[in-house]
Amino acid sequence: MAKAPQTAITPTRAEDYPEWYQQVVRAADLAEQSPVRGCMVIKPWGYAIWEAMQQALDRMFKETGHVNAYFPLFIPLSYLEKEAEHVEGFAKECAIVTHHRLEAGPDGGLVPTGKLEEPLVVRPTSETIIGAMYAKWIKSYRDLPILINQWANVVRWELRTRLFLRTTEFLWQEGHTAHATAEEAIQETRKMLGVYATFAKDYMAMPVIRGEKTAGERFPGAVNTYSIEAMMQDRKALQAGTSHFLGQNFSKAQEIKYLSNEGREEFAWTTSWGVSTRLVGALIMTHSDDDGLVLPPKLAPQHVVILPIFRNDEEGGPVLEYCHKLRGELATQTYDNAPVRVLVDTRDIPRADKKWQHVKRGVPVIVEVGPRDIQGDTLMPKRRDESSAEKKPAVSRAEFVSSIGTSLAAMQANLYNRALAYRQEYTRTFTDLAEFESYFTAKNADKPEIHGGFAIAHIAEGPESAAVFAKHKLTVRCIPLDDEPGFEEQVEGKCLFSGKPTKVRAVISKAY
């Protein structure tokens, strides 16, 4: 065998995973740092992926009875202070508006003036401002449930940021619901966790584990926090979405009361749930390879890119005509209930640059069309998830066109299956603490930077795990729900750390 081919991304995943991630974001032209500390610019290709995510999620929210609305960007400080745990959780990372005017200062430059009587916090999340409105809107049990979602930007002042994964400003959706009973609110919390899991599986081709967070990992002010956890290719976990049962904590702090069917005044039960542009980071780290981004077809802004190849105008005429005709034919085909999205890239830049640009951007299918392809009316389409070493026979144009929907569906399924197999390969159940520790420390011969994975272990409450977790930078990612595959049956066991008997099994790993 010849030596491994050079890759489009340097370094490779095995060489330096964090740097590989930054280089994929850059090579795929998804986003970049802005001059504003910690705030990113989401570039057109990255934003188109977010739009595709939004569109699918928005439809799923509406199908489950939710409507969209919009609440203010600013939260008066006194509102944030109403729920004690909540404000404590966010106080250290708030952007605060204190003035509303600029005027020339003593040295000529502009300085903030018009000091506000009460500072305004740029929303880090909207429980308190939305709760204040719900307190006004809800009078009787007839006004419940309220099922509202908001698409918005939020700000959390982060010191260490990474594009998409952790940024000072990010885009997200936040659902906020109010219910007459705890049962109904819990059901909503779990239902929306399920919507996130379905979206992750069906659109992102990303397998996730749905579970409950431990007390220390709860959303500030929540009674219970649930999350979906995905394994990235460096075997760390990424929390990809959360759904919170807030009990009556916020309704008591904000007086969200209703008159019940029996005429009693009751506090409402509330929930909140959200996913953010972090999902784009999750998508990158789940599927991409050493040649750049790999996009699941359902979220790809373009499904097929056609690259016309010709040396002169004489060749160019028929080639371009053929390409545009091919685009038209492909666009009559459907995938995911919509026309296949096709681009003919006619830009006047070097052939190899152009091709690699689309490879690095993760376009699912790339097809080059030159005079010889036209002559035979056959094509050599390249599917992004297939190895470039693997040579496939040419297919007739007619067959390429008629099978494009099937081909995209096959790629979508392949990406999911590959990611699931990877997670399964690096998920192990432990009953021995030494083996557990070795799992997170043993170096891997071929991939020295990547080791460990998800560990499943019985765990009981208590301080015994803390030292081990701190030593290896581990956290309990979640306690999987009892309808998660593999966790349906309660199994008696002993806590891996304290030896105490327990039925609780957790997913433990390093995490983003």
Can you give the binding site for its own copies, defined by CB under 8 A?
A: 34-36, 39-44, 47-48, 50-51, 67-77, 79, 81, 87, 91-103, 109-112, 114, 119-122, 129, 132-133, 142, 148, 152-153, 155, 157, 169, 171, 349
- Judged by beta carbon, residue 150 or residue 233, the one nearer its own copies is 150
Contacts by residues 434-441 (CB-CB < 8 Å, ≥ 24 positions apart): 436/468, 436/496, 437/468, 437/471, 437/472, 440/472, 440/474, 440/510, 441/472
Closest separation between CB of residue 94 and its own copies, Å?
5
**CB closer to its own copies, 16 vs 81:** 81
**Which of residues 99 and 503 has its CB atom nearest to its own copies in the complex?**
99
When the beta carbons of 152 and 330 are compared against its own copies, the nearer one is 152
Of 369, 384, 375, 362, residue with least CA distance to 326: 369
User: Which of 114/499 has CB closer to its own copies?
Assistant: 114
Q: Which two tokens stand for residue 222?
A: 């929540």
Least separation in angstroms between residue 257's CB and its own copies is 17
DSSP, res 213: P
The token duo for 306 is: 């056609």
In degrees to the nearest 10, what's the CA dihedral of 454, 457, 463, 469?
A: -20
CB pairs under 8 A, 24+ apart, for 308-312?
308/344, 308/345, 308/346, 308/369, 308/370, 309/351, 309/368, 309/369, 309/370, 309/371, 310/370, 310/371
Residue 284 beta carbon to its own copies: minimum distance, rounded to whole angstroms: 17
**Alpha-carbon distance 344 to 249, whole Å?**
55
Classify 410 as helix, strand or coil. Answer: helix
To the nearest whole angstrom, how small is the minimum distance from the Cβ of residue 362 to its own copies? Answer: 17
Nearer CB in complex with its own copies: 31/508: 31
Rounded least distance, CB 193 to its own copies, Å: 23
Q: Which is nearer to its own copies, 24 or 129 (CB)?
A: 129
DSSP-derived secondary structure letter, 92: G
Q: How far is the CB of 426 from its own copies (least distance, A)?
A: 34
CB of 393 to its own copies, least distance (A): 36
